[in-house]
Amino acid sequence: MGAHHPECPERLYAIQDRLVASGMEMLVTHYDAPAATIEQLTRVHDADYVQRIFAAAPTGTDPLALVWLDGDTALNCHTLEAAQHAAGAAILAVDLVLSDRHHAAFCAVRPPGHHAGRRTSGGFCLFNNLAVGAAHALAVHGLERIGIVDFDVHHGDGTEDIFSGEARVLLCSSFQHPFYPGTGADSTAPNVINVPLPRLTDGAAFRAAVGAAWLARLDAFAPQLLMISAGFDGHLEDDMAHFNLHTADFGWLTREIHLLARKHCQERVVSCLEGGYALSALGRSVATHVDELIGQV
C-alpha cells in the first residue's frame, strides 16, 4: 500500500523469521492458499461490492501505481490477487481442520480482513477472510455453531456487520474504545459479545474482562469450530494503538480457546492474521500463538 504504510510485506517476513528462530518451523506444515472464488466471496459480501473491488484494481504492472479506496486502504496491481488468496487461505484452513488432517491452522495472510463488511472496505481490508472461511464452514460443511474470537485492538466492524443476528455464529470481540473505527460499544445483537476497553488496558485487566465476558458463553454455545481474528496490535510495543498487552497475554487467550476447542470440537481451530505492526512483537506473538494452537497439553 505504499512506502511507510504499516500494512507491509515485512510483517510476514517477521513472522517467518521468528518461527524459524523459535524452532516452531519444524512443527508446522505449510500450504499455499488457493484463490477464493466469486461464489465464495459473495457468501459474505454483496455481489456489487465484489465487482466494485475487481473493477477498481489497477491493471498495469507498476506496483507503485495505487488506487485508494479510502484514506487507509489502497490497491496496487498485485493486491486483488493477494486478497483473493488471503480469503482462500481461510477456506483451505477450514477444509483441512474439518477433514481432520490438522487440528488447527494459522493463516499468515495479507491483507487482513475484519474491517471488510458486506459492502465496505476499510482499515487495510478488502475481503473479510475469516468471514469467508466461516461461511464456507456453514454452507459446505453444514456446521451449526461456530465461535469467533476477535482480539485485535480495533473493533472488527466488518465481521459484526456480516454475522450480526446470525444464530449459528457467536462473535466475541475485544477492542480499544473509543478508537478506530469507533463502533462496537453499543452493539445489541444477541449473538455478539463485545468488550470495549479503555486505552492503556494492561494484561491483567484484559484477561479479567474477556475471561468474564466470553469464556462461559463460548462454553455454553459448544461450538463445532472455533475461529480467531488474531490481531496483535494491542501489544505494548505497537504504536498503532494504546493497549499495554504482552506476548504472554496473547498466549493465555489462545490457550483458553484451545482448551475450549479440546472440550467441544476435537481441537478444531482456524486463526487468521489481522493486525500487528511492530515487527519484532508481531513475530514473537505469532510464534506464541501458534505454539498454543499446537497445544502441548
Q: Report domain extents, the chain.
A: 15-294
* pLDDT value for 63: 86
Beta-carbon contacts of residue 48 (< 8 Å; ≥ 6 apart): 119
- Is the pLDDT assigned to residue 270 strictly greater than 90? yes
Active-site residue, selected from the candidate residues 102, 115, 154, 235: 115
Q: Is the pLDDT of residue 3 over 90?
A: no
Q: CA–CA separation, 221 vs 287, rounded Å?
A: 28
Which CATH entry fits the domain spanning 15-294: 3.40.800.20, 1.10.3720.10, 3.90.25.10, 3.40.470.10?
3.40.800.20
User: What are the two backbone dihedrals, phi and then psi, of residue 83, each rounded to the nearest 5 degrees?
Assistant: -65, -40
pLDDT attached to residue 197? 98
Indicate the average pLDDT of the chain: 97
| 141 part of the active site | no
**C-alpha cell of 256?**
483458553
Is residue 60 very low, low, confident or very high in pLDDT (cuts 50, 70, 90)? confident
Share of the chain above pLDDT 70, in %: 99
pLDDT band at 275 (very low <50, low <70, confident <90, very high): very high
Q: Do strands 74-75 and 67-68 pair parallel, antiparallel, or not at all (unpaired)?
A: antiparallel
CA distance 126 to 88: 13
Q: What is the pLDDT of residue 297?
A: 43
